[in-house]
Structure 1
Amino acid sequence: MSIHPTAIIEPGAELHPSVAVGPYSIIESGAVLGEGCVVESCTRIYGHTRLGCNNRVCHGVTLGAEPQDLGYTPEQAKPLTIGDDNQFREGVNISHGVKSATGTRIGSRNFFMAYSHVGHDCSVGDDNVFANTATLAGHVELAHHVFVSGQVAVHQFCRIGAYVMLGGVSGVPKDVPPYVIASGQRARIIGLNLVGLRRNGFDQARRAHIKAVYKLVLRSGLRLAEALTRAERELPGPDTDAIVAFCRASERGITGFA
């Protein structure tokens, strides 16, 4: 274990012997850091935080901080649970949970650029990218392989589907279904996330199928419930199932096309 002499590791913190901690960092009692984690300078890892293996925590990061909720009291605290192989770049801030038993959850292989923020009780999947200052409010559910561009703000309780790209400086007030690009002050769908789909192995036939599903579901003029039923019947397949299930589970409403 490599611990800089100016770092503060409180009694009760659990660090794997391979963990490295840089100067002036603080790791509170109750925090757990798995094998291969690297904590750089001037970071603070609060006691409700659990990190898996091989996470990199860069300068000035705060993990497991109190939620930015005016009604918060310490006895409400729930955990922040983080998977493996994530990178948290300079100034990232992630709140611990407060209202759900599982707290705030971060998956694996996510890349958080400088000053991005994840609010309390969010659920973030795997292989996502958060550009500089991207922000999730509380209780947001973000799937996997999502690109959240710079200065994006996602409203509390929104859901973001898999393989979505959120365009820069966008405000997201509704659920964004899988496979699309959404952009704008009040974000609207502007097309499929073709680059992201190609990079993740979606061939032309599969992309055309997804496009046909969205043409029926969101651009046919049908009521959503009827369009979803027709999509299941006329365009069956796993991508159809994913879109239909996402839309049927929506409580905030589905983002439409521009």
Structure 2
Amino acid sequence: MIDPRADVHPSAEIDSTAHVGAFTVIGANVRIGSDTWVGPHVVIQGPTEIGRENRIYQFASIGEAPQDRSYRGEPTRLVIGDRNVIRECATLSRGTERGRGETVIGHDNLIMAYVHIAHDCIIGNDVIFSNAASLAGHVEVQDGCTLGGFTLVHQFCRVGAHAFTSMGAALNRDLPPYCLASGNYARLIGINKVGLRRKGFAEESIHALHRAFTEVLRGRSDRKTRIASLLAETDVAEVRRLLEFIQTSARGILRAGRS
């Protein structure tokens, strides 16, 4: 299953059911799981662990040294889960010693062409990165998000679960879960109602999220007081997750645009 024209380091561990295409380079300390397909002209450097049933397309750069001036060749890692699709020319970097020491990508993600995921990022599951979306270092993207084409995310920002960004959005603060963001710099537009309905979220939860968004992120009174009041009265799990995300934001939350 390894094309004879591929260049595979003797220390690489490749499952017997994996496929490696022509002219692909696989470096030392790389592990590739079962039924993973690596196309031609891919470069994978280690230490990198890749799970099962992934598809990695031509010219992707996986596990290369981080683009960080503090990096001095430490053996940091990239960890990729299962069933991810990584398209042409995507770049996924390892971690840094000053950060987590590893970049982690979960399961069932679609990483389109020219996407960049920098060092020490944490990516959840079922995330869609549209073409040329780029994450700086230390970014967290939670489950079920969609990042529109050419989205940019500043270092140390968080993107909450099931959030959505429009084309060309530039995030310099945290994007709460279930919310929409657009613009450069990005502003909060509202709740990702269409996306949540497509994913089967209950209408009662979507309505409660809309109310919480309006009261907390568009309201004029003290935000801490509004959050405490809503947490005391709500039993909707999605609302609690939204409010707790806002409470724990280190960089601050994106500002709400005009309604």
Q: Is the counterpart of residue 220 in structure 1 residue 208 in structure 2? A: no
Secondary structure in 2 aligned to 1:182?
strand
Q: Is the counterpart of residue 81 in structure 1 residue 79 in structure 2? A: yes
1:257 paired residue number: 256
2:88 paired residue number: 90
How big is the shift at 1:36?
0.5
1:153 paired residue number: 152
1:234 paired residue number: 233
TM-score by length of 1: 0.97
Taking only aligned residues, the RMSD between alpha carbons, in angstroms, comes to 1.0
Q: Is the counterpart of residue 199 in structure 1 residue 198 in structure 2? A: yes
More moved, 202-211 vs 135-144 = 202-211
Could you list the structure 1 runs, at least 4 aligned residues long, displaced by more than 6 angstroms after superposition: none
Matches of 1:102 and 1:67, distance apart in 2: 11
The letter of the residue matching 1:7 is A
How big is the shift at 1:55?
0.6
Matches of 1:213 and 1:191, distance apart in 2: 10
How big is the shift at 1:102?
4.8
Matches of 2:223 and 2:103, distance apart in 1: 31
Gaps of 5+ in 1: none
Matches of 2:250 and 2:159, distance apart in 1: 13
Secondary structure in 2 aligned to 1:231?
helix
Matches of 1:165 and 1:225, distance apart in 2: 25
Q: Is the counterpart of residue 129 in structure 1 residue 131 in structure 2? A: no
Gaps of 5+ in 2: none
- Quick check: 2:119–2:137 contact (8 Å CA) kept in 1? yes
Matches of 2:45 and 2:222, distance apart in 1: 47
Matches of 2:32 and 2:99, distance apart in 1: 23
Deviations 1:127-170 (A, max 9, x none): 00001100000000000110001111000000000110011111
- Quick check: 2:205–2:236 contact (8 Å CA) kept in 1? no
State, as a whole percentage, how many aligned pairs show the same letter.
36
Corresponding pairs, count? 256
Matches of 1:39 and 1:232, distance apart in 2: 47
Deviations 1:11-63 (A, max 9, x none): 11000100110010011110000000101010011011100100101000111
2:21 paired residue number: 22
